[in-house]
Amino acid sequence: MIKIKYTTLSLFFAMAITLFFACKKTPEGPPIKTALVGGKMTISQVRSLFTGLNYTFTQDVSLYATVTMTDDYKTLYIRDQTGAIAVEQITAHGIYAGDSIRINLNGSILKLTGTASSLEIDSLDVSDSPTCKVVKLAVGRPTPPIPVTIAQLNQSASSITFHTILGSVASPQSIYDGQLVEIINTQFSFTDTSYFIPLSTTSTYVTPTHLLYDCGALNNIQLSLYSGTTDFLTQKVPATKSGSIVGAIGFYNGNLQITPRSFADLKYTQPRCGVDTLTQSFVNCYYDINFGNTFPGWNNLNTYGNFVWAAPSTIGGPPGYIGADNTNTTTARNVMWLITPPIQNSPTKNLQFQTMVTNWLPPFPQQLSVLISTNFEGTAASNNLYGQYNTTPSNPAIWYDITYKFTGIQNGSDSLSYFTNAGIGTGLNGAVMLNYPGSPLSGYTGTFYIAFRYTAHQYLDSSQVYAIQNVAIKD
């Protein structure tokens, strides 16, 4: 008879299993701080600590951020939900873009990088333990640049002046300061065909700067390369193209600048661009204005003589338009070019403007021409109209005369003292502007410039004064 002590066996099982499975334990690990004594701050809060003098953190404070860019040397750019800021390491050590980090700010210094320049966190210790103040929480985090236009950047800029015991300190402000951005719809000046870093220099530790413009050249920002970059060596400025640029935004001497991470951040693959719509009344054209600032993107040049298009007070008329005058010239001839910003053409793009002539002098020569160019590079020059220039341009643009499409351009013979539409039709002041049938700009593709050229000869031509206003180029 086989006997088995089921009760005993069951009791044994119960006891053994209970004993064993009752004790499931988890490692406690070493004690670890739950938080730094100073708590945590955001980048925005850190920025607010600056009141004109360097601020040294003397308490353990956490700052959580993601590294958006490094300059492969000591500078980091970090961002959080509240903003961005540059960080200067004591020595570079293994921190890279995409790293999610917690910084213990103790020992770091909040300061300006220079006069009227960006705010930064300086002297950050990232060396090996135990002095290291950076904890890398994750790597490979996405750090997409923030799309922005140059106009938005410029509009964001302001400045706060702190009055300290050491004097007044200007601290430029922008929500984009220290931020990794992608500036869209930009291009370099057509004339900026140089190398990013002059080939003549043997050192990469130079700070060449180049201006970047938006499509209408209405706004610009400075491009700055970080010291020591080798990525831009032997690279030329892509002046023939438009596109976008990725980089960190900062202030230097009060001006915004963008510092790209590498040459790959310059994505200039599209044809040069222009503004889609241009309207300029010249109502702000006053005496002694800064032409470039008041009319960004416009070029005011001459190819002969000393005169250029000028404000009304210069030419003796009321404000609100821009004019060209040959009076009192000391040169035999004056050829003045008022050139629009680049325009993005389209099949229905039209040009409208108004003209007025004063100092009517027979035989009332047509001194104002309208020209169009698709390869203007910043120096007006064309068909060698008079066989000579102040200086011969090395790379003259080709201009096509479309004056014939604007039969309404005054020539002084009507002795009108008010502006009239330059297009077909002869409406009086206040009359509806009429377009040339179809588009006066048809036949020209891509980006183009319109030039209003005033030509006067002291002896052969009369010296009538030509003025224009209400220029509009749009669909």
Partner 1 sequence: MKKNLLILFLSCFLALASASYAQTDSTTTPKSNDLTPASFNNSEHDTVRTIESGILPVFSTASSDLGGSNIQSQDVTALLGASRDVFIQANIMHFIVAGFQYRGYNSVNKTVMMNGVRLNSLETGIAGFSTFGGMNDVIRFMDQKTGLGSSRSTFGDVGGYFNLNVFASTFRKGLRVTYSEGNRIFKQRATATYSSGLLKNGWAFSVSGTVRYAAQGYVPGTWFQGFGLFAGADKKFSDKNTLSVVLFGAPITQARQAYETNEAFALAGDKHYNADWGFQNGVARNAVISKTNVPSLMLTDKIDLNDHSKLTVNAFGSYGRTSLTGLNYYGVPNPAPDYYQNMPSYYAPSSADANPTQFANLTQLWQNPANQQLNWDNMYQANASNMHTVTNVDGVPGATYTGKQSLYIVEEKRQDVRTGGYNGIYNTRLQNNIYLTVGTNGTISNTRYYKVVNDLLGGDYWLDYNQFGSSTTPNPQALQNNINDPNKLIKQGDVFGYDYNINVQRYELWGQAEKSFRKIDAYISATVNNTSFYRAGHMVNGLFPTTAGINGAPENGSSGGNSTVLDFLNYGVKGGITYKIDGHNYITINGAYITKPPLPTNAFLSAQTRNDEISGLASEQIFTGDISYNLRFRWLKGRITYYHTQINHQAWQRSYYDNDFKTSVNTAMTNVNQLNQGLELGLEGIVNKHVSIIGALAYGQYLYTNNPSATISANNAVQLLATDRTVYWQNYHVGGMPEVASSLGVRYTSNKRWYAGVYFNYFANNYVTINPNRRTEEALAKYIITDQPVVNQILNQEKLPNAYTIDFMGGKSFRIKDGHQVNVTLMINNLTNNIFKNSGEEQLRYDDNTINEFPNKYKYSFGLTFMASVSYTFN
H/E stretch holding 81 reads: none
Q: Is 14 in the site for partner 1 (CB under 8 A)?
A: no
- Given 42, 62, 173, 281, the residue binding partner 1 (CB under 8 A): 62
3-state secondary structure of 466: strand
Nearest CB to partner 1, comparing residues 234 and 346? 234
Q: Is 9 in the site for partner 1 (CB under 8 A)?
A: yes
Nearest CB to partner 1, comparing residues 33 and 432? 33
20, two tokens: 């064993």
Q: Is 133 in the site for partner 1 (CB under 8 A)?
A: yes
Binding track over 17-36 against partner 1, x by CB under 8 A = x-xxx-xxxxxxxxxxxxxx
Q: Scanning the structure block, which residue is given the tokens 């222009």?
A: 274
Distance in angstroms (rounded) separating the CA atoms of residues 251 and 289: 26
Distance in angstroms (rounded) separating the CA atoms of residues 127 and 89: 9
Across 183-196, b (16+ Cβ under 10 Å) vs e yields bbbbbbbbebeeeb
- Given 51, 54, 59, 96, the residue binding partner 1 (CB under 8 A): 96
Q: Is 135 in the site for partner 1 (CB under 8 A)?
A: yes
- Given 58, 115, 140, 253, the residue binding partner 1 (CB under 8 A): 140
- Cis bond leading into 130, ω under 30°? yes
Q: Is 459 in the site for partner 1 (CB under 8 A)?
A: no
Distance in angstroms (rounded) separating the CA atoms of residues 308 and 300: 6
Q: Which residues contact 364 (CB under 8 A, 6 or more apart)?
A: 357, 411, 412, 413, 462, 464
Q: How far is the CB of 235 from partner 1 (least distance, A)?
A: 18
Nearest CB to partner 1, comparing residues 1 and 432? 1
Q: How far is the CB of 34 from partner 1 (least distance, A)?
A: 5
Q: Is 267 in the site for partner 1 (CB under 8 A)?
A: no
Distance in angstroms (rounded) separating the CA atoms of residues 102 and 443: 59
Q: Is 2 in the site for partner 1 (CB under 8 A)?
A: yes
Nearest CB to partner 1, comparing residues 136 and 241? 136
Q: How far is the CB of 263 from partner 1 (least distance, A)?
A: 14
Confirm if 188 and 237 have CB atoms less than 8 A apart: yes
Region binding partner 1 by CB under 8 A among candidate stretches 124-132, 163-171, 174-182, 447-455? 124-132
Q: How far is the CB of 378 from partner 1 (least distance, A)?
A: 38
Q: How far is the CB of 90 from partner 1 (least distance, A)?
A: 15
3-state secondary structure of 451: strand
Distance in angstroms (rounded) separating the CA atoms of residues 134 and 128: 10
Q: How far is the CB of 16 from partner 1 (least distance, A)?
A: 4
Nearest CB to partner 1, comparing residues 18 and 159? 18
Amino acid, single-letter form, for residue 309 = W
Per rule CB under 8 A, count of chain residues that contact partner 1: 48
Confirm if 219 and 154 have CB atoms less than 8 A apart: yes
Confirm if 456 and 367 have CB atoms less than 8 A apart: yes
Q: Is 366 in the site for partner 1 (CB under 8 A)?
A: no
Amino acid, single-letter form, for residue 225 = L
Residues binding partner 1 (CB under 8 A)? 2-5, 8-9, 12-13, 15-17, 19-21, 23-36, 62, 93-94, 96, 98-99, 102, 104, 128-130, 132-140
